[in-house]
Amino acid sequence: MEENQNPDEDNQEILQNLDETGQTEELVEMFEELPTPDVVEFLEDKSIDEIISYLNDVDAEDQGRIFSDFSIDLQVELCRTLDRRKIATIFRHMYSDIRADLYQELTKDEQIGLLPYLDKKVREDVIILSAYPPETAGGIMNTDFATVFEGMSVAQAMAKIRHDAPSKDMVIYIYVIDDVMVMKGFVTLKDLVLADPNAKVSDLLNEFFVHAEVNEDRESVAQKIEKYDLAAIPVLNSLNQLVGIVGHDDAIQVMQAEQTEDLERLAGVMPSEEGEDYMQTSTLRHFRKRVVWLVGLAAMGIISGIIINEYQGVLEHFIILAMYMPMMASTGGNTGTQAATVIIRALSLGHITDDEWIKIVFKEIRISAMLSICVALLTYFKIVFLSFHGLLPEGFTMSFVGLTISLAIAIQVVTSAVIGAGLPLIVRRLGGDPAVVASPAISTIVDITGLLIYFSVASALLGVA
Amino acid sequence: MEENQNPDEDNQEILQNLDETGQTEELVEMFEELPTPDVVEFLEDKSIDEIISYLNDVDAEDQGRIFSDFSIDLQVELCRTLDRRKIATIFRHMYSDIRADLYQELTKDEQIGLLPYLDKKVREDVIILSAYPPETAGGIMNTDFATVFEGMSVAQAMAKIRHDAPSKDMVIYIYVIDDVMVMKGFVTLKDLVLADPNAKVSDLLNEFFVHAEVNEDRESVAQKIEKYDLAAIPVLNSLNQLVGIVGHDDAIQVMQAEQTEDLERLAGVMPSEEGEDYMQTSTLRHFRKRVVWLVGLAAMGIISGIIINEYQGVLEHFIILAMYMPMMASTGGNTGTQAATVIIRALSLGHITDDEWIKIVFKEIRISAMLSICVALLTYFKIVFLSFHGLLPEGFTMSFVGLTISLAIAIQVVTSAVIGAGLPLIVRRLGGDPAVVASPAISTIVDITGLLIYFSVASALLGVA
């Protein structure tokens, strides 16, 4: 096993060892060699003063790279500790999108105090990137891209990239623009490397390219990156000028954020904000994120109470009905949640659209009909064989009561599947996010419909009210 | 607005127009110009014969590229229609990971029939890639990477890449290996382009690199790609030889698949297989995916029935208790689901670990204590103000009964939150996937604990049993 094939835990060990043995020079050298997240993991355990002293030991470019990977809280704290000239140097070498996010975290006074120290280019970049709402392509894009002109030869293009590129982290696509920044297409660095130096950029140009609009929703941008397997997508303004790019790493973050949102909505928890962390979030905020749905649904539970009150005559005669009420409610909730989850996921993966709602509802009816037979059979045998005979009024057999309850539960399963599948489709059709039809909401709704079904069937077949 | 800045819908229009006006030559030219997914979307609507005739019109490299993007079903169908010589040509130009997946979809007879027609390199590649389980790094990796040797000059390295690379889609990282394929590190294409042609590759070498083991779980591979913002990760075998790479696009697919699995597990639906589609999945299979949990939980519901039977004396005296049973159950289910979802997501994002369980449980107790006060107050006022006085036996006031039920519900909220948060932590500690503690399972468990709490509190305070 070679020393240089180390997973990240070993990278931490390398840093710890050098630190403990006081080999500061070698340690700082490692800051330049190791993957940034490993260096950041090591540094974030140190005190602010230590972090600053380490940062001073690495060159400006590495300062910007490492600083960009710190948590936003640490970035802000460092900004408040360092003098403005130093911050300006770090700003010059940070990733443009992270720099803009940091700038927005500063107070108005801090922003105004810092601006005169920034290079003109950095200042403009920060202000422009801060202007877009965070949910849009503009809000997540960066400006770390390389451009060439259509009329250039390959050799000229390579020379321009050599001149422009050192500050950019990764160069994969080279964007081809005209003299007013209107995007004409792209070439890959590989294309340029493989091409005859005397060839024209226009000969290599991919002019049919996928792009995002600057105001486009970030989820749609992430979906394009995924669909077209892009390493980065160019972002254009309404004049078709290239204003930024969104990388595949940003797409992954957007997708994770959206997935967390979906999951939380399904569970009736208010969506987390960007980067919200369980442990760091206060108890009060956790409480606030859950209380609305919980109390709201509990309040709706009053309807169940009213229905039960309405049918108390039936319940008094057939106390056995009370015994199967919880199973009725939970089976309905489970069926509805299953159907809703499957539909919401299929909608968000683009496997189905709300236009197909008739087909989907019929499919759910078929599926739930099969499920209802199983659940009804189980219920029937449970009732007949466990037979709490003492609970029956005279003149009724356990098998007839079993049939009644089983029939009610079979109807409940089909109804719940249709409600669970139908609600997200309706919400999508109205233009909303289907995941807002939280699983607790569906459970509460099918509790109510379930009780109505249960007591209607019971009073019809058993002849009491 | 320029003609060449078209989103993908317009790309479809371009293809449709050329098709309808019979401009086949221009159409085929567009197959080479437009992004592959758009071409595939157009072709997949055509008949098999038309698809074959179009494929024959484009050059071999484009055939492989377009074919690789077809759905696996269409790929298999085409393999069964085309003659083996033609398939071998397409295989030569397909993406290596997709080619191996396709090969595994063929029957043993088809595989044996095809092998002699494949180039030696392709044959070996297909067999090796097919050997790894689909859940591992080996199962999702591809072999479309470029390599250079440490001792080479930059000029020599560039020459080797020019020679090797045309068949590879995207070249970002160049992997540096020794003469037995042991990975020494990597350089980026940008580094090479920017470097002095006489410099040594070893001077540019990044020797501390992140890698995956060939048997590593694919989810862990995807997490590394995300953590380190990699465009691709090298996959090494136990001898540290470079055997493949996994790209960022594969990481996105893995994360989506795992996310779907989590969501489905949470809803008590058996996980989908790779690429399973709602509409294409048969009713019977949908049924099978849902029936196990549904019937299993309904069977467990018998426990609720037994508890209610046990306490029928209480119920007969206080029919009002039956009215608040559904609210008790659903509030418990909702609280438990909220807590479980938040914990499962935090575990899967790596925000918390199961080691911190004591802290987490105490945090959930604090959160749920606040929630329980709100729910209990609501319940109390609901009972007192809606006051179905007729339901009370003599000697009991509505406010005392309200207090009893509210107290029971407050205890239920805290218990449910602890159970909902605790179960995923226990499952993770035992080495399982926390998402298997499905939300229906939690609802069913807290139904049972809830009934026990409800009737214990009621019989203790109201003095009946």
| pLDDT digits 0-9 by tens, A219-274 | 899 989 998 999 999 999 999 999 999 999 999 988 888 888 888 887 788 877 76
Q: Which residues of B touch A65 (CB under 8 A)?
A: none
Proportion of chain B above pLDDT 90, given as a percent: 52
pLDDT at B94 over 60: yes
Token code pair at residue A143: 């400006």
Q: Say if A256 falls within a structural domain.
A: no
Express each pLDDT in B331-347 by its tens digit: 898 899 889 888 888 88
Nearest to B278 by CA among A220, A361, A443: A361
Across the range A51-76, mean pLDDT stands at 92
pLDDT at A143 over 70: yes
Amino acid at B49: D
Q: Could you report how far apart the first and last alpha carbons of chain A are, in Å?
A: 80
Q: Say if B450 falls within a structural domain.
A: yes
The model carries a pTM of: 0.80
The confidence band for A275, taking pLDDT boundaries of 50, 70 and 90, is low
Q: Which residues of B touch A325 (CB under 8 A)?
A: 308, 322, 325-326
Place of tokens 């309706």: A426
Specify burial of residue B150 (Cβ count, 10 A radius: 0-12, 13-18, 19+). middle
Query: In this structure, are residues A59 and A29 in contact, taking their beta carbons and an 8 Å threshold?
Result: no
Place of tokens 């939690």: B442
- The verdict on a CB contact (< 8 Å) between A231 and B172 is yes
Q: Say if B417 falls within a structural domain.
A: yes
What pLDDT was estimated at residue A232? 93
Q: Are residues A306 and A451 in the same domain?
A: yes
Q: Are residues A224 and A312 in the same domain?
A: no
Determine how many CB atoms are found less than 10 A away from the CB of residue A73.
Answer: 11
The CA distance from A203 to A187, in Å, is 10
Task: Locate the chain A residue with the closest alpha carbon to B221.
Answer: A7
- Which residues share a beta bridge with B233? B246
CA-based Rg of chain B, rounded to a whole angstrom? 31
Q: Which long-range contacts (CB under 8 A, 24 or more apart) does A123-128 make?
A: A125/A96, A125/A99, A125/A100, A126/A91, A126/A99, A126/A100, A128/A243
Nearest to A4 by CA among A28, A49, A27, A35: A35
Q: Which residue among A1, A277, A382 sits closest to B351, beta carbon to beta carbon?
A: A277
A306 Cβ contact partners less than 8 Å away, ≥ 6 residues apart: none
Q: Which of residues A130, A165, A193 is at a domain's end?
A: A130
Across the range A431-447, mean pLDDT stands at 81
Q: Which of residues A192, A222, A247 is at a domain's end?
A: A247
What pLDDT was estimated at residue A388? 61
Token code pair at residue A18: 């050098």
Give how far B264 is from chain A: nearest CA, Å. Answer: 7
Query: In this structure, are residues B168 and B244 in contact, taking their beta carbons and an 8 Å threshold?
Result: no
Q: Say if B274 falls within a structural domain.
A: no
Residue B342 touches partner A, C-beta closer than 8 Å: yes
Looking at per-residue pLDDT, the higher value among B401 and B235 belongs to: B235
- The verdict on a CB contact (< 8 Å) between B267 and A162 is no
What pLDDT was estimated at residue B4? 40
pLDDT at A168 over 60: no
Determine how many CB atoms are found less than 10 A away from the CB of residue A60.
Answer: 12
Place of tokens 């580094």: B191
- The verdict on a CB contact (< 8 Å) between B342 and A286 is yes
Proportion of chain A above pLDDT 90, given as a percent: 53
Q: Say if B309 falls within a structural domain.
A: yes
Q: Are residues A103 and A157 in the same domain?
A: no
Mutate to test the interface with A, among B338, B379, B447 (most CBs of A within 10 A): B338
Task: Locate the chain B residue with the closest alpha carbon to A270.
Answer: B338
Query: In this structure, are residues B245 and B235 in contact, taking their beta carbons and an 8 Å threshold?
Result: yes
**Residue A94 φ/ψ, nearest 5 degrees:** -80, 165
The CA distance from A79 to A94, in Å, is 13
pLDDT at B465 over 80: no
Q: Are residues A192 and A232 in the same domain?
A: yes
DSSP label at residue A70 = S
Interface of A with B in 71-90 (CB under 8 A): none
Q: Which residue among B172, B324, B342 sits closest to A305, beta carbon to beta carbon?
A: B324
| Cα A451-A456-A462 angle, rounded to 5 deg | 120
Query: In this structure, are residues B44 and B70 in contact, taking their beta carbons and an 8 Å threshold?
Result: yes
What pLDDT was estimated at residue A274? 65
DSSP label at residue B206 = B
Express each pLDDT in B243-298 by its tens digit: 999 999 999 988 888 888 888 887 788 877 766 788 888 888 889 888 888 888 88
Q: Are residues A300 and A436 in the same domain?
A: yes
What pLDDT was estimated at residue B6? 43
Residue B41 touches partner A, C-beta closer than 8 Å: no
What is the extent of the structural domain holding B70? 8-131
Query: What's the total number of domains in chain B?
Result: 3
Express each pLDDT in B3-61 by its tens digit: 344 455 688 888 999 999 988 889 999 998 899 999 999 999 999 999 999 999 999 98
Q: Are residues B36 and B164 in the same domain?
A: no
Q: Are residues A325 and A432 in the same domain?
A: yes
Average pLDDT of chain A, as a whole number:
87
The CA distance from B51 to A73, in Å, is 55
Q: Are residues A103 and A24 in the same domain?
A: yes
| Cα B239-B181-B248 angle, rounded to 5 deg | 90
Query: In this structure, are residues B105 and B134 in contact, taking their beta carbons and an 8 Å threshold?
Result: no
Query: In this structure, are residues A190 and B170 in contact, taking their beta carbons and an 8 Å threshold?
Result: yes
The confidence band for B464, taking pLDDT boundaries of 50, 70 and 90, is low
Place of tokens 């809803």: B267
Q: Say if B272 falls within a structural domain.
A: no
Helices (H) and strands (E) in chain A, counts: 22, 6
CA B333 to chain centre: 25
pLDDT at B241 over 80: yes
The confidence band for B353, taking pLDDT boundaries of 50, 70 and 90, is confident
**CA A125, A128, A129, A130: dihedral to nearest 10 degrees?**
120
Q: Are residues A161 and A81 in the same domain?
A: no
Q: Are residues A313 and A394 in the same domain?
A: yes
Express each pLDDT in A14-55 by its tens digit: 899 999 998 888 999 999 889 999 999 999 999 999 999 999
Across the range B181-190, mean pLDDT stands at 93
Interface of A with B in 309-338 (CB under 8 A): 309, 312, 315-316, 319, 322-327, 329-331, 333-335, 337-338
What pLDDT was estimated at residue B2? 38
pLDDT at A440 over 70: yes
pLDDT at A9 over 80: no
What pLDDT was estimated at residue A12? 87
The CA distance from A366 to A273, in Å, is 40
Average pLDDT of chain B, as a whole number:
87
Across the range A397-416, mean pLDDT stands at 92
Q: Helix (H, G, I), strand (E, B), or coil: what is residue B26?
A: helix
pLDDT at B412 over 90: yes
Query: In this structure, are residues A306 and B327 in contact, taking their beta carbons and an 8 Å threshold?
Result: no
CATH number at residue B428: 1.10.357.20
CATH number at residue A155: 3.10.580.10
The CA distance from B274 to B272, in Å, is 7
Q: How far is CA A430 from CA A223, A293, A355, A358, A445, in A?
A: 22, 21, 12, 16, 19
What pLDDT was estimated at residue A3? 38
The CA distance from A378 to A366, in Å, is 19
Flag whether the ipTM exceeds 0.85. Answer: no
Q: What is the DSSP string of A396-436?
A: --HHHHHHHHHHHHHHHHHHHHHHHHHHHHHHHHTTS-GGG
Across the range B56-77, mean pLDDT stands at 92
The CA distance from B456 to B328, in Å, is 13
Q: Which residue among B171, B193, B345 sits closest to A263, beta carbon to beta carbon?
A: B345
pLDDT at B1 over 70: no
> H-helix or E-strand containing B163?
helix B154-164
Nearest to A96 by CA among A238, A251, A246, A248: A246
What pLDDT was estimated at residue B199? 94
Lowest-pLDDT choice from A150-159, B187-196, B346-355: B346-355
Place of tokens 């050329």: B18
Q: Say if A270 falls within a structural domain.
A: no
Q: How far is CA B216 from CA B189, B213, B236, in A?
A: 27, 5, 10
Tell me which range, A8-17, A132-141, A160-169, A327-336, is most confidently predicted by mean pLDDT. Answer: A132-141
Token code pair at residue A95: 């990733």
DSSP label at residue B355 = G
Q: How many CB pairs under 8 A join A and B?
A: 390
Amino acid at B16: Q
CATH number at residue B18: 1.25.60.10
Axis-axis angle for helices B218-227, A248-266 (nearest 10):
120
Residue B189 touches partner A, C-beta closer than 8 Å: yes
Q: Are residues A121 and A158 in the same domain?
A: no
pLDDT at A391 over 80: no
Determine how many CB atoms are found less than 10 A away from the CB of residue B179.
Answer: 8
Q: Are residues A110 and A201 in the same domain?
A: no
pLDDT at A464 over 80: no
A103 Cβ contact partners less than 8 Å away, ≥ 6 residues apart: A111, A114, A126, A130
Across the range A6-15, mean pLDDT stands at 74
Q: Say if A275 falls within a structural domain.
A: no
Q: Helix (H, G, I), strand (E, B), or coil: what is residue A176?
A: strand
